[in-house]
Amino acid sequence: MEKLQNGYLFPEIEMRTMAHIETYPDAKLISLGIGDTTQPLPQIVASAMAKHSWGLSTVEGYFGYGPEQGTKALRQAIVDKLYGGLGIKETEIFISDGAQSDISRVQMLLGPNMTIAVQDPSFPAYIDTGVIMGQTGCIEEATGKYGKIEYMECNAENGFFPDLSRTSRTDIIFFCSPNNPTGNAASREQLKQLVEFAKKNGSIIIYDAAYSAFISDDSPRSIFEIPGAEEVAIEISSFSKFAGFTGVRLGWTVVPEELLFSNGVPVMKDFNRIVTTCFNGASNIAQAGGLACLSPDGYQGICQLVGYYKENAKIMMETFSSLGFTTYGGQNSPYVWVHFPGNKSWDIFDEILEKSHIITIPGSGFGPGGEGFIRVSSFGHREDIIEASKRLMNLLQ
Amino acid sequence: MEKLQNGYLFPEIEMRTMAHIETYPDAKLISLGIGDTTQPLPQIVASAMAKHSWGLSTVEGYFGYGPEQGTKALRQAIVDKLYGGLGIKETEIFISDGAQSDISRVQMLLGPNMTIAVQDPSFPAYIDTGVIMGQTGCIEEATGKYGKIEYMECNAENGFFPDLSRTSRTDIIFFCSPNNPTGNAASREQLKQLVEFAKKNGSIIIYDAAYSAFISDDSPRSIFEIPGAEEVAIEISSFSKFAGFTGVRLGWTVVPEELLFSNGVPVMKDFNRIVTTCFNGASNIAQAGGLACLSPDGYQGICQLVGYYKENAKIMMETFSSLGFTTYGGQNSPYVWVHFPGNKSWDIFDEILEKSHIITIPGSGFGPGGEGFIRVSSFGHREDIIEASKRLMNLLQ
């Protein structure tokens, strides 16, 4: 624990925000920071959860412990709706209380002696859970990088896909697409290369697909669209951004039967043991909501939600573009990744907060490769996005 | 992972049960096995969750991410209702999705280099998460014990409290009271000795109080009733058995400010980092339900639920006593611990399942000290408990 850098990114932002509120108690703060959903759930989804909740006060509607891996109905619905034709089985789906919890459970599965690779920049939980598990060395002040981690540079020059010919072999490769924070979705060709690379090296890919619902083009929504991925990949996903379940808490992880440790033990067997020992299942109310999301009407409702946020992202991209900034992401992702060449991310963060009362995320919080960028989230009410756009036009033009 | 014994206890029971159902498809199976609540929630609690769920489909009732540590309202309500006068602060309460998840998060906090002590018998998750984290040696076939774990014998002879004068010093002491499986609640005098022992040795007690609501006598309901415990103990607790939330998923962990690692770092600071990195908060619907449980009417409702199960426990105790068996627990706990001298636990389990179609838990599944016992759960509908009692009278008289 001592190796961990002072603040986990989000609590640090929270602290600076609280200080700002104290200084400007009357300012109307707009958050384009932490990717937190803001729009009400479709009624069909809320109603399914309300009905389930109320049922718990009746003899016939009461349920105690469910399977730690989630209800069969929800696991099957995920297969049918989201993995159709990919050969994924219901038994390979493990329902969770969200992707963040499953990242740490996957880390418990893997243990301290694994070497890991991460995209740079990347979502901090991969590295931070690695540090907590003891997989890494100490942080080097000069580079801002932890020892024993392979940082795979992802930047505009390489199309946000690492140069695998220069990437060292590791046991584990964390890969997030559409990426948080850059907003870039890897292409089918790129993911084929990644799967090939993992196969050659005997590595396991931990594929974070939490934002896959935001993909607009023909980029794969699942690593399992790539033939052979079932032998090298685990996929972690979530209802949080897909269905506005950030506070309801529901996610899932796919561990294919074909994925084996080097000693021949199926990874699925050990992950099942982790899930049954370290977890007792997601809330059955949340699971009832998840099932409703995957019904025809529910799915239509959550696709509309995703569409709403994508429209917000478009407004933000246009705002920064019209100001002459280069932006990435936003097309296949709720995040817009804005370049401020020659500037420090935290300085940009502080200036935008100080002068426009808008919270963003400093790119350097996602790793040294994020320096000079800020991440702008499109989660918000439309009127706030439009207001933020106006304030940014005033500040940055 | 390879060190772990073949089956986690509960999945093993599940497997044998499924095989039994195949052989006797028409038998009416009664479960006195896994401690799974069966009685409907108080309407006030279900209604609070239904209202919260429905609210999520409205602009004013929608919530995204909440604090990872839980809502301030719920943390404060737990302090007021359950820790009144003990000096526990709201900021020392961390809301979780249940005790089992928090046991593994506490293990992540502690890391692989800790030595641990457990009561024998004890709830398997302490040892199993310790094995997963790499804190233990391999299992020794002859004794059924893992290397590097201090097993603290708890049996009828020592009043189910370990002889601390013969207990080796460890970094961590897992202690569960009222105990699962023996049903015994430690007395104030015993807990004073335990706190004293931990202080002398610089150990941390992980106190599992998941069954404290079942205490009928003046045994402490919290380790923090013992002066000085705040310097040596973490308490893990849950709404599961207390309020019938086994499927809803809600719990909490108390980490006092005064508890420090040997290097002076507050344990609370590091646990907060674990919670914010490896968890994203309990479902906000479940938290709304938890808050309702602690309202005056809600609390009355859940106390009635606990009373119902305690009456079941009394029926079970009387059943076995009238058959001439010695029983423990049941007074301060939903579990009755029944002795079958000279028998193997799994044989008793198999015989009762085979001939009476009743699921129990073999005591040896809780450690070598549980051999010769079965654990009988009082969670069930009254008519099933009475029917089980009749069948057991037929089988065992």
One digit per residue, pLDDT tens: chain A, 397 residues? Answer: 777 765 678 888 989 999 999 999 999 999 999 889 999 999 999 999 999 999 999 999 999 999 999 999 999 999 999 999 999 999 999 999 999 999 999 999 999 999 999 999 999 999 999 999 999 999 998 998 999 999 999 999 999 999 999 999 999 999 999 999 999 999 999 999 999 999 999 999 999 999 999 999 999 999 999 999 999 999 999 999 999 999 999 999 999 999 999 999 999 999 999 999 999 999 999 999 999 999 999 999 999 999 999 999 999 999 999 999 999 999 999 999 999 999 999 999 999 999 999 999 999 999 999 999 999 999 999 999 999 999 999 999 8
Interface pTM (ipTM) of the complex? Answer: 0.96
Take residue B195 and report the two structure tokens written for it: 């706190």
Name the one residue in this structure whose structure tokens are 């201090």: B150
Please tell me the distance in Å from B193's CA to the nearest CA on chain A.
30
Q: Are A64 and B38 inside 8 Å of each other by CB?
A: yes
User: Which residues does chain A have within 8 Å of residue B123's beta carbon, measured at their own beta carbons?
Assistant: none
Q: What is the dihedral of CA A283, A284, A285, A287, to 10 degrees?
A: 90
Residues of B in contact with A51 (CB under 8 A): 50
* Nearest chain A alpha carbon to B301: A57
The tokens for A311 are 């429209």
Q: Which of B112, B196, B182 is nearest to B153 (CA)?
A: B182
| Positions in chain B short of pLDDT 70 | 5-7
Alpha-carbon distance A103 to A382, whole Å?
A: 32
Angle at CA of residue A46, ends A45 and A51, nearest 5°? 100
Distance between A189 CA and the closest CA of chain B, angstroms: 32
**Chain B residue with the nearest C-alpha to that of A7:** B273
pLDDT of residue A5: 65
DSSP label of B264: S
Contacts of A19 (CB under 8 A, 6+ apart): none
Give the chain A residue nearest B102 (alpha carbons): A278
DSSP 8-class letter at B365: G
Peptide bond into A227 cis (omega under 30): no
Distances (CA, A) of A307 to A186, A214, A221, A329, B55: 20, 8, 16, 15, 22
**Backbone φ, ψ for residue A321 (5° rounding):** -60, -45
Please tell me the predicted confidence (pLDDT) of residue B5: 65
Q: Find chain A residues with C-beta within 8 A of B284's C-beta.
A: 247-249
Beta pairing, strands A358-359 & A30-31:
parallel
Cis check for the bond before B42: say yes or no (omega within 30 of 0). Answer: no
- Choose the closest CB to A247 out of B64, B100, B108: B64
B280 vs A contacts (CB less than 8 Å): 97-98, 100-101, 246, 249
Question: Which chain A residues are within 8 Å of B238, Cβ to Cβ?
Answer: none
Inter-chain residue contact B104 with A277, CB threshold 8 Å? yes
**What is the reported pLDDT for B207?**
98
DSSP assignments along A219-279, one per residue: S-SSGGGSTTGGGTEEEEEESHHHHS-TTT--EEEE--TT-B-TTS-BHHHHHHHHHHHH-
Task: Kindly report the nearest CA distance between residue B54 and chain A, in angstroms.
Answer: 5
pLDDT at B3: 78
**Is the full-model pTM beyond 0.95?**
yes
- Is there a contact between A111 and B104 if contact means CB atoms under 8 Å apart? no
For the beta carbon of residue B263, count every other beta carbon within 10 angstroms. Answer: 6
Suggest the residue from A8, A51, A52, A56 to mutate for an interface test with chain B (most B CBs closer than 10 A). A56
Q: How far is CA B367 from CA B151, B178, B362, in A?
A: 9, 17, 10
* The amino acid at B33: G
Number of Cβ atoms within 10 Å of the Cβ of A216: 14
Mutate to test the interface with B, among A57, A126, A305, A308 (most CBs of B within 10 A): A57
Model pLDDT for residues B313-352, shown as the tens digit of each residue: 999 999 999 999 999 999 999 999 999 999 999 999 999 9
Q: Is the distance from CB of B285 to CB of B53 less than 8 angstroms?
A: yes
| Total residues belonging to chain A | 397
Nearest to B173 by CA among B103, B113, B119: B119
Chain B hits for A8, CB-CB cut-off 8 Å, are 273, 276-277
What integer pLDDT is reported at residue B7 of this predicted model? 60
User: Which chain B residue lies closest to A4 (C-alpha atoms)?
Assistant: B273
A32 Cα to chain B: minimum distance (Å): 14
Give the pLDDT score at B6.
55
The residues facing A236 across adjacent strands are A208, A253
For residue A352, give how far its alpha carbon lies from the nearest alpha carbon of chain B (Å).
Answer: 23
Q: Looking at residue A7, what is its pLDDT? A: 60
The total of other beta-carbon atoms located within 10 Å of residue B25's CB is 7
Nearest alpha carbon to residue A358 among A377, A343, A341, A372: A377
Report the alpha-carbon distance of residue B226 to residue B198 in Å, rounded.
12
* Burial of residue A81 (number of CB atoms within 10 Å: 0-12, 13-18, 19+): middle
Closest to A284 (Cβ–Cβ): which among B38, B51, B248?
Answer: B248
